[in-house]
Structure 1
Amino acid sequence: MRYIPVALLLLAASALPGVCRADEASDIAHLQTRWAQVKYQTPAAQQEAAFAALAAEAQTLRTAHPDALSYPVWEGIIRATYAGAKGGLGALGEAKKAKALFEDAIAHDPKAASAYAGAAYTSLGSLYYQVPGWPLGFGNDDKAKDLLQQGLQLDPDGIDSNFFYGDYLLEEEDYKGALAAFEKALAAPPRPGRELADSGRRAEIAKKIEQTRSEL
């Protein structure tokens, strides 16, 4: 049985800023920055409470901006990461909330016109391969692969789209494919304003590369 790992510290990086109102851009930048601070600078014992508070804040912002896709995507990212911080079966409730948020964002943007569409597909795909399968959860490796590949089509050079696809391939024991994906993730261009998130993710990628090479 698989359990939701701390690695579900999801996809803050893949949600690239798009064209949006000034207040929306400010809100999302705040959520992104706070997410990275909690994930990469907060002691593990304090992360669950910190992500719970951030999820509540993200929900408030989403409710106040029902037509902007950036808010449900980022609330989903935060809730998925919160699930990782909780760990075990107790995290399934938050994972299901994140799943619903990503699905709603995708449903409202079927042509993937939003800059956040790639993040929604990648984030949802990462949930599908990391949560338990039936009867305990909704995990499904085939759905995960399809969603992750759609995320890659929308963000082919992204650090997170490649990282999570590589992580999926690592779990599937496709070590050569995983290594190629991790190396592409490591070569992703830096994102202005996302220095802390990029630094933390690159450290995770380096560990995954070491793990993958040990299997080859």
Structure 2
Amino acid sequence: MTMPRSFTAILVSACLAALPALSHADDVDMAIKTLARDWSHVTYEVPKAQQDDAYTALETQGSALIAQYPRRAEPRVWQAIILSTHAGEHGGLGALGMAKRARDLLQEAQKIQPDVLNGSIYTTLGSLYYQVPGWPLGFGDKDKARSLLEKALQIDPDGIDPNYFYADFLYRTGDKAGAMTHLRKALAAPPRGDQPLADKGRRAQVQKLIDTLSADK
């Protein structure tokens, strides 16, 4: 059957109109992957003495990405991951400010796309709530941490990150047996093809906590 010329022209126009949108999506996805790769490099390969400046540079990249793609949740999540990791390395009152900014970004991302990046919002928020001091210094809350980390595991039950952070939370709250269970699940997690360096670094952290638990027996 031959399509009418007018219908064919409309179809071609529609396809051409879709091309910029596809290119835009490809651009933001590539930018997010680059930011994730750079975070892995800074976190697991850059010497500790150079990390403060390196994280600051990453935060500049993350802020630009948020401004460029304000309707996407992923830049906010990755900026929050960068800030929370930086806070852990930086310490002091400055770290608390970073942690609060990370929390706010994650809550903004949650309103845009709550299940983005396989539950990373809940993993990162949960880790903040159990590592940040409680009131009156900070916003730390063990009950919120548990709830958020368990939600992350519901979304990604076999993932290395949700299992590691839940294990770390359980260890810090005295449940060593539960922590070991989730550490073993973290070690058995399927590799993430686009994040080999992050997987390698996280597995080293998992093994370190397993060694600590084994030494505590």
Q: TM-score range by the shorter chain?
A: 0.7 to 0.9
TM-score by length of 2: 0.86
> Higher helix fraction: Structure 1 or Structure 2?
2
What is the CA-CA distance between 1:117 and the residue it aligns to? 5.6
1:28 corresponds to which residue? 32
The equivalent position to 2:81 in structure 1, one of 51, 62, 77, is 77
Aligned to 1:139, the other structure's residue is in SS state: coil
Gapped regions of structure 2 (runs ≥ 5): 1-23
Contact kept, 8 Å, 1:83 with 1:92, in 2: the verdict is: yes
What is the CA-CA distance between 1:107 and the residue it aligns to? 2.3
Spell out, residue by residue over 1:100-144, the C-alpha distance to the aligned partner (whole angstroms, 9 max, x if none): 0111111223xx4x4326000110000000011111110110110
Name the count of aligned residue pairs: 194
What is the CA-CA distance between 1:192 and the residue it aligns to? 0.8
1:205 maps to amino acid: V
Aligned to 1:173, the other structure's residue is in SS state: coil
Gapped regions of structure 1 (runs ≥ 5): 1-19
Aligned to 2:116, the other structure's residue is in SS state: coil
Structure of higher CA gyration radius: 2
Contact kept, 8 Å, 1:118 with 1:154, in 2: the verdict is: yes
Q: Name the CA distance, whole Å, in 2 between partners of 1:95 and 1:46.
A: 20
TM-score by length of 1: 0.87
2:104 aligned with 1:104: no
C-alpha RMSD over aligned residues: 1.3
1:9 corresponds to which residue? none
Spell out, residue by residue over 1:59-97, the C-alpha distance to the aligned partner (whole angstroms, 9 max, x if none): 111111011111111111111111112113320011000
2:62 aligned with 1:61: no
Q: Name the CA distance, whole Å, in 1 between partners of 2:31 and 2:65.
A: 8
- After superposing on structure 2, the runs of 4+ consecutive aligned residues of structure 1 that deviate more than 6 Å are none
Contact kept, 8 Å, 2:72 with 2:112, in 1: the verdict is: no
Aligned to 1:128, the other structure's residue is in SS state: helix
1:181 corresponds to which residue? 182
* Identity between Structure 1 and Structure 2 (%): 47
